[in-house]
Amino acid sequence: MKNGNWLDSEKEFVLNGQFTDDIENFNCFWPEQIKKNKNDFLKRYEISIDHLPLPGAFREVLIALRGLIREKRKENLDYSVELSQLYKIAAIETFGLDYSEYNQCPGFNIFSIIPGNIVNNLKINYKTLGYQKIPSLKKTDIKWIVEKWGEPESHSNLNILYNDLWNRYEKKYEKIRKEMSAKSIDEYKKILGSNKIGIKRNNLNQSEIKPSKTANQNIILYTIIFFIFFLIILIIIFV
């Protein structure tokens, strides 16, 4: 991303440089870049963290950090920074849900409307958060963590601790979805309205106002266009 990654952004993922302001610079082929830099863990980290909060990006960030930690362990170097970042990213991922029951949609839809800096600034305390309820942490990760920080006092995750915040954005997403649906209906009415005007103009000199063959064809064409547009909106909302 041109203007920094999502975690540093005050904008939502779906509204920042990824999808609107700088859409031409959004890298749809970032997984291919990951493959090309498979063994360059630093580069792999830089590419993947720029694409949070995509689910695949979380996974790739953690893989890259594990690679960096292993490299430092082999050389007997301190890897505290990398381990802290690994724990933080894994913990942040737990703020989202796989599926939103409230909106009947993937949890990513909710995650994508939350400004990254809000998630980034959530308090992450290993002693209270622990590791048992952070699914992305592997056994080796936990071994490294316990070696460095000892056993925690309790186990939880960010969605449990900040559930009120998550619920707030679920309601916001519901509002956005309704507004998008209403906008689609308004667009359809405009299309039908403009078409009716065209029919009247084409028949001003006729004793009876009847839709012309061309007008009927236009109605069919506009209806098809609308339904294609409406399906695209549904895909964006529910997939």
Q: What is the CA radius of gyration of the chain?
A: 25
pLDDT at 16: 40
What digits encode the pLDDT tens for the residues 61-88?
Answer: 999 999 999 999 999 999 999 999 999 9
The C-alpha atoms of residue 75 and residue 82 are separated, in whole angstroms, by: 15
Best CA proximity match to 95, nearest among 63, 70, 58, 66 = 58
Report the DSSP pairing between strands 105-106 and 99-100.
antiparallel
Best CA proximity match to 67, nearest among 33, 38, 101, 102 = 38
CB-CB contact of 218 with 192 (8 Å): no
pLDDT at 24: 44
| Residue 180 or residue 222, greater confidence | 180
Question: Which range is least confidently modeled, 36-50, 77-91, 147-161?
Answer: 36-50
Residue 151's Cβ-count burial label (10 Å; 0-12, 13-18, 19+) is exposed
104 pLDDT tier (thresholds 50, 70, 90): very high
Q: What is the DSSP letter of 18?
A: T
Structure tokens at 103: 């909106």
| Mean pLDDT value of segment 130-158 | 97
Task: Please state the separation of Cα 115 from the chain's center in Å.
Answer: 10
Question: Which range is least confidently modeled, 18-22, 40-44, 60-64?
Answer: 18-22
| Mean pLDDT value of segment 186-203 | 57
Q: Percent of the chain scored above 70 by pLDDT?
A: 67
CA angle 184, 187, 192 (to 5 degrees): 130
pLDDT at 213: 55
User: What pTM does this model have?
Assistant: 0.71
Contacts of 63 (CB under 8 A, 6+ apart): 44
